[in-house]
Structure 1
Amino acid sequence: MDGETLQDVARARALELPAAHISRPFGPEAEVAKVLGKMFLLQAEVQGTPAVVLKAEPRDSEALRSVHADITPGYHMNKRHWITLWPGGSTDAGFVRELVTDSYLLVVETLPRAQRPIDPHAFLASGRDG
């Protein structure tokens, strides 16, 4: 998938998730998706290439990087907890949607229970994850 499509798929999925919104707090060149003020997605061009940066469990992050050449440590983020998706590799739209959902759920789990827009475990069980 090309870079524009990669970012379009990620953005569309982010906007489908409860209480998620997109803003440009770093200027017009980068989009950030947040849930209740906490970031779960960053999209920008990195050295002229569109990229998507997502939160990931450290073990998952390592496994993803070892299997997919187009997934690298998070660009300008904590390298253990964030990954970067690059265009042109083995990731397809369904996989990108799944990774965006996983990133969102990791952030929702850190919110106080009373503020969570969804129960992360019920959300997955309901089949609304992608």
Structure 2
Amino acid sequence: MDRKAAREYLLSRPEAKEDFPFGPDVAVFKIKGKMFATLGRLNGVDCTNLKCDPDEAQALRDIFTGVIPGYHMNKKHWNTVLLDGSVPDYEIERMMDRSYGLVVRGLRKVECEALLLAYGPEVIFR
């Protein structure tokens, strides 16, 4: 997956917004003001930071060489995924969906319920 495809996929999530609070080189993707992903570069390689369940985060790091502890993030809850071809596209999309879903679950109840009502759980938690 390249940077353009990653950006398009992240923005395809319901009500996802792109912002640049850290400057023009790091895109931050939010749902209802809460960050669920970043898109930037690490050592010259495009990458994305994604929220993850702590147990799953470590398992993904053990499986894929292109998944490392979250760069500039809480390493227990975030992974950095290198967009260098070492992780299959379908797995990156699954991790993006999981990150989005984890953040939606953490929203205020009224915000979460409104998203579920508007889009359905199969879209929000795919």
> What range is the shorter-chain TM-score in?
0.7 to 0.9
Q: Is the 8 A contact 1:69 1:89 kept in 2?
A: no
From 88, 92, 108, give the equivalent of 1:92. Answer: 88
SS at match of 2:115: coil
Unaligned runs of 5+ in 1: none
SS at match of 1:44: strand
Q: Deviations over 1:72-113 (max 9, x none)?
A: 000000001000111334312221111111000000000112
* Change in CA separation of 1:9 and 1:30 when aligned onto 2, cut-off 3 Å: same
The residue type equivalent to 2:74 in the other structure is N
SS at match of 1:63: helix
Unaligned runs of 5+ in 2: none
Stretch deviating more after TM superposition (26-35 or 109-118)? 109-118
Identity of aligned residues (%): 34
Q: Does 1:35 align with 2:28?
A: no
What residue in structure 2 maps to residue 123 of structure 1?
A: 121
Q: Is the 8 A contact 2:97 2:125 kept in 1?
A: no
Stretch deviating more after TM superposition (90-99 or 20-29)? 90-99
TM-score, scaled to structure 2: 0.87
Stretch deviating more after TM superposition (46-55 or 97-106)? 46-55
Root-mean-square deviation (CA, aligned residues, Å) is 1.9
- Where in structure 2 are the equivalents of 1:95-110 lying within 5 Å? 95-110=91-106
What residue in structure 2 maps to residue 9 of structure 1?
A: 5
What residue in structure 2 maps to residue 19 of structure 1?
A: 15
Q: Is the 8 A contact 2:101 2:125 kept in 1?
A: no
TM-score, scaled to structure 1: 0.85
* Change in CA separation of 1:27 and 1:128 when aligned onto 2, cut-off 3 Å: same
The residue type equivalent to 1:115 in the other structure is E
Q: Is the 8 A contact 1:61 1:81 kept in 2?
A: yes
Q: 1:56 and 1:89 mapped to 2: Cα distance?
A: 20
Q: 2:38 and 2:85 mapped to 1: Cα distance?
A: 19
Corresponding pairs, count: 122
Give, in angstroms, the shift of residue 47 of structure 1.
2.2
